[in-house]
């Protein structure tokens, strides 16, 4: 027997004030296909709409990669799919887009957006994995290798802005920070496992934090008193500890908080270890003459990419590499402040 009472339409969450302030209240931004005018207004104000991501250095990436119809293009970090969309359009007809992403929450949404573009189903192949899985992915989908390959090492705005993911300290949420929340241990568990020296080492190596030892002592002491389980709990400990130290002109306490979160996030996701492995196998993933572009967002990543490209050039694996790092234009930095720290490097595989 069926229930004669129909389900009531689900009401959107109510919020205080004229405009929604919290991530999950921004129902228009979270549905850009239904409210394109409202989303365009947010973008025109130099902001990124909630639940979306604005791809960075798109024109520059297309210029250095030079994708052509019939090419095999690989996006190792799909994110919202902005770069992937442009690569896919450039390699059609005849070409394919292969994509990887470690985030099981965002990957299905991105796949739906890409397939809605109307390209043939066989022109898109995606896999839930980080780019350490690239060799096996290519062995399955394109044994001959890639013509063009992109790796964007930045966090997507969807991850940064959603408090439930634990990446932001601006709004309280669980202290998680995992790219894939179904695997590994959250940041709160990492703090429990690390001793004070180990935490200091992470802060120094992953974020060049000048007060690594003092911050590690303060965080470890607070965590022993009661586990730091939320983002704002950790942020408050860092603010209190760093308030007594001198700062460079223009620097703020929240700059220190940002570095601490960056360092812990890198450790939680083993980002440097995964990147090192990726750079080691990268030349073999490219066809002779294939091109790779890597977008980084802090000095630790950029140092590793720069070193790997230089060593590859020296050893004859690459025919050429970028002479200088490519940065966003002043216009792009103004329109999308999250692009400010981006650095782009590229290399061309030897024939």
Q: What is the pLDDT of residues 293-324, one digit of tens each?
A: 999 998 999 999 999 999 999 999 999 999 99
Tell me the angle at which helices 58-65 and 82-91 cross, rounded to the nearest 10 degrees: 40
Helix, strand, or coil here: 171?
Answer: coil
Average pLDDT score over residue span 147-163: 88
Contact 341, 297 (CB under 8 A): yes
pLDDT band at 44 (very low <50, low <70, confident <90, very high): low
Q: So what's the pLDDT on residue 27?
A: 40
Q: Which residue do the tokens 């790779």 mark?
A: 292
Domains (range + CATH), the chain = 58-157+271-349 (3.40.50.150), 181-268 (1.10.150.170)
pLDDT at 272 over 50: yes
In the chain, % of residues over pLDDT 90: 71
pLDDT at 35 over 70: no
pLDDT at 22 over 70: no
Does this model's pTM top 0.85?
no
Can you state the percent helix, strand and coil of the chain, rounding each to 5? 45, 15, 40
Contact 192, 268 (CB under 8 A): no
Mean pLDDT, the chain, integer: 88
Cβ within 8 Å of residue 326, ≥6 positions away = 57, 60, 64, 343, 344, 345, 346
pLDDT tens-digit series, residues 182-193: 999 999 999 999
Q: So what's the pLDDT on residue 8?
A: 54
Q: Which of 11-15, 52-56, 143-147, 280-284 has the lowest mean pLDDT?
A: 11-15
């Amino acid at each position: 027997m069926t229930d004669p009472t129909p389900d009531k339409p689900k009401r959107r969450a109510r919020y205080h004030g004229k405009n929604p302030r919290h991530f999950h209240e921004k129902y228009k931004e979270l549905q850009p296909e239904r409210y394109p005018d409202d989303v365009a207004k947010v973008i025109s104000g130099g902001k990124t709409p909630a639940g979306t991501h604005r791809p960075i250095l798109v024109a520059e990436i297309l210029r250095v990669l030079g994708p052509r119809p019939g090419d095999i293009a690989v996006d190792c970090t799909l994110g919202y799919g902005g770069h992937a969309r442009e690569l896919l359009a450039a390699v059609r007809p005849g070409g394919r887009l292969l994509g990887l992403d470690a985030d099981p929450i965002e990957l299905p949404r991105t796949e739906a957006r890409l397939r809605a573009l109307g390209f043939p189903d066989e022109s898109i192949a995606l896999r839930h994995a980080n780019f350490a899985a690239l060799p096996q992915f290519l062995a399955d989908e394109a044994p001959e290798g890639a013509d063009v390959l992109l790796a964007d090492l930045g966090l997507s705005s969807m991850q940064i802005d959603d408090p439930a993911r634990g990446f932001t300290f601006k709004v309280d949420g669980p202290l998680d920070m995992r790219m894939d929340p179904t695997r590994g241990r959250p940041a709160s568990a990492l703090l429990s496992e690390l001793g004070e020296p180990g935490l200091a080492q992470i802060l120094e190596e992953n974020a060049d934090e000048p007060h690594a030892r003092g911050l590690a002592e303060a965080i470890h002491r607070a965590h022993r008193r009661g586990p730091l389980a939320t983002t704002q709990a950790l942020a408050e400990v860092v603010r209190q500890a760093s308030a007594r130290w001198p700062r460079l002109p223009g620097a703020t306490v929240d700059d220190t908080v940002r570095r601490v979160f960056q360092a812990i996030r890198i450790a939680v996701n083993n980002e440097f270890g995964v990147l090192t492995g990726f750079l080691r196998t990268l030349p073999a993933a490219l066809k002779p003459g294939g091109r790779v572009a890597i977008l980084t967002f802090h000095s630790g990543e950029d140092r590793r990419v720069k070193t790997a490209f230089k060593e590859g050039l020296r050893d004859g694996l690459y025919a050429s590499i970028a002479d200088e790092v490519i940065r966003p234009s002043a216009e792009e930095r103004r329109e999308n402040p999250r692009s400010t720290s981006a650095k782009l490097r590229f290399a061309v595989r030897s024939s």
